[in-house]
Copies of this chain bind each other. A is one copy, B any other.
Amino acid sequence: MLVVGLMRLGDQEARLQESFPDIDFKFYKHPSELPIDVQQEMDVLISYHQEVNETFIENAPKLKWIAWYATGVNSLPFETLKEKGIQLSNAGGVHAQQLTEFLFAYILDDYKELKEIYAEQQEKVYNRKRVTPSVKDQHILFLGTGKIPQRAAQVAQILGMKTIGLNTTGHTADYFDETYPISNRQQVYEKADIVVNLLPETVDTRYLLTTEDFKVMNPHTLFVNLGRGTIARETDIVNALRNNSIRKAYLDVFEQEPLDSNSELYQLDNVFLTPHISGSHADNKKLATDIFSNNLKSFLNNGELIENKVNIDKGY
């Protein structure tokens, strides 16, 4: 059996080879370095590259499983995978810790007014009168109630916040005080002080948030996007921030990535931009390889994936 990685995994490569001595592993720095004869022979692919498109799959006739080393799988050609019966797993959950840390870094940066205080420090101003708002009893609304939102909601609750979750049916989820169907979201926004998108990109979530969504949010809303940039058009977000339909945004993902230096987002004062790094972590390769190893054991045994299998019909 041949397993091909389209990126180097550092010390995880030796770990895999030791754990699975009968398997042939080949790792390349980049998809462009993959020889066509290897592509035609590979059974399993490790990747997170947009180069893995329909043509790529057509040229990999023996491929049975793609182990995606990221969470968002939206760039993959789902129809082709379905047609060819190729299984898909992702690294969902690996990023929960880092995303949660960024979420609370953002929220506390805003609520504790760190940027304003730091500006005063630069001016040697000691403003003893500043009273910052508390996050206690603030209502935080999550689009999505899966593994990552649950981890974030757990931390929010310990900090004294009220957690509200939106998902397809409005079913309950751990660490959420209330949950509602996402189709009713425009009636739920009025409860929320903070709105956080953690949804993956699917046909259902693409451009889910419209001008109307931002319009009915509270004007003091802090909007955080750690999911996918395609949840809303950039122009709609820019307008909402410019018209003060919402107070402020912290954005890690964008409709077009990398963000163009001409983006109007760079012109606004009430937005904080991070370059799609909220899931990045030095340990991600190790954690994703933990999932891969568990799946590989099972795959060798009976052809089934047991962890983080993506439902190709649903797209997550």
Contacts and interface: CB of A to CB of B under 8 A. Distances in A.
Nearest to A100: B159
Contact of A111 (B101, B131, B154): B101
Interface in A267-284: 272-277, 280-283
Interface centre among A128, A132, A154, A276 (most CB of B within 10 A): A132
B112 A108 contact: no
A100 B266 CA distance: 32
Contacts of A259: 126
Contact of A275 (B112, B114, B115, B128): B128
A132 B95 CA distance: 12
Given A112-B102, A121-B266, A275 B127 contact: yes
Given A134-B283, A282-B133, A128 B277 contact: yes
A272 B128 contact: no
A50 to B, nearest CB: 14
Given A132-B277, A266-B121, A108 B97 contact: no
Chain A, interface size: which category?
A: 35 or more
A189 to B, nearest CB: 24
A101 B131 contact: no
Interface centre among A102, A259, A277 (most CB of B within 10 A): A277
A158 B160 CA distance: 13
Contact of A108 (B101, B277, B282, B283): B101
Interface of A: 97-98, 100-102, 104-105, 108-109, 111-112, 114-115, 117-118, 120-121, 124, 126-128, 130-136, 154-155, 158-160, 258-259, 261, 266, 272-277, 280-283
Given A101-B108, A101-B112, A112-B102, A276 B134 contact: no
A105 B114 contact: yes
A240 B118 CA distance: 21
A102 to B, nearest CB: 6
Given A134-B283, A277-B128, A281-B131, A115 B112 contact: no
Contacts of A276: 128
Given A98-B134, A121-B273, A126-B261, 14 more contacts: A97-B136, A98-B132, A101-B108, A101-B159, A102-B112, A104-B104, A104-B108, A105-B108, A109-B114, A115-B118, A117-B277, A130-B277, A130-B280, A134-B282
Nearest to A115: B118
Contacts of A131: 277, 280-282
